[in-house]
């Protein structure tokens, strides 16, 4: 009985991405995805990024058992390029590593072997 009681009280946290009407993305974290989406949709908070960019569409969500994990992933995603966000939205997790690699031509991996230094 104690185990099921604990499971019933366990919270789930979500990291989510909304696509706004201007095609930008908004990334957030919540413990109630339906409520938070409704808040974005209805424009409850005038100062929220999404207020002037409605309508919004939920394009990604991921569940977490622990709030610290959810917050860490939210911060990570917020720092990502649009291409990396597109990859997880389309469930192409395997594309994240190549997208994270430096594409700058001056990076040592990308220089021609015959160049003199």
The predicted-structure confidence for 34-91, as pLDDT tens digits, reads as follows: 999 999 999 999 999 999 999 999 999 999 999 999 999 999 999 999 999 999 999 9
8 Å CB contact between 104 and 110: yes
Q: Give a yes or no: residue 11 inside a domain.
A: yes
Q: Give a yes or no: residue 20 inside a domain.
A: yes
Q: Give a yes or no: residue 37 inside a domain.
A: yes
Q: Give a yes or no: residue 117 inside a domain.
A: no
pLDDT reported for residue 105: 66
Q: Are both 47 and 69 inside the same structural domain?
A: yes
The whole-model pTM stands at 0.80
Which DSSP helix (H) or strand (E) runs through 13?
strand 13-19
- Total number of domains constituting the chain: 2
Q: Are both 6 and 16 inside the same structural domain?
A: yes
Cα–Cα distance measured from residue 93 to residue 3, given in angstroms and rounded to the nearest whole number: 33
Q: Are both 69 and 21 inside the same structural domain?
A: yes
Q: Are both 73 and 101 inside the same structural domain?
A: no
101 token code pair: 């690699």
> For residue 66, what are the domain limits?
2-79
């Amino acid at each position: 009985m104690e185990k099921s009681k604990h499971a019933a009280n366990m919270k789930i946290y979500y990291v989510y991405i909304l696509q706004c009407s201007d095609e930008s993305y908004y990334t957030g974290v919540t413990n109630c995805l339906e409520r938070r989406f409704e808040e974005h949709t209805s424009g409850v908070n005038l100062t929220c990024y999404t207020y002037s960019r409605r309508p919004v569409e939920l394009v990604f969500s991921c569940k977490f058992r622990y709030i610290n994990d959810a917050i860490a992933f939210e911060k990570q995603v917020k720092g990502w390029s649009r291409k990396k966000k597109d990859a997880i939205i389309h469930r192409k997790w395997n594309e994240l590593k190549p997208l994270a690699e430096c594409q700058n031509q001056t990076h040592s991996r990308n220089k021609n072997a015959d160049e003199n230094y």
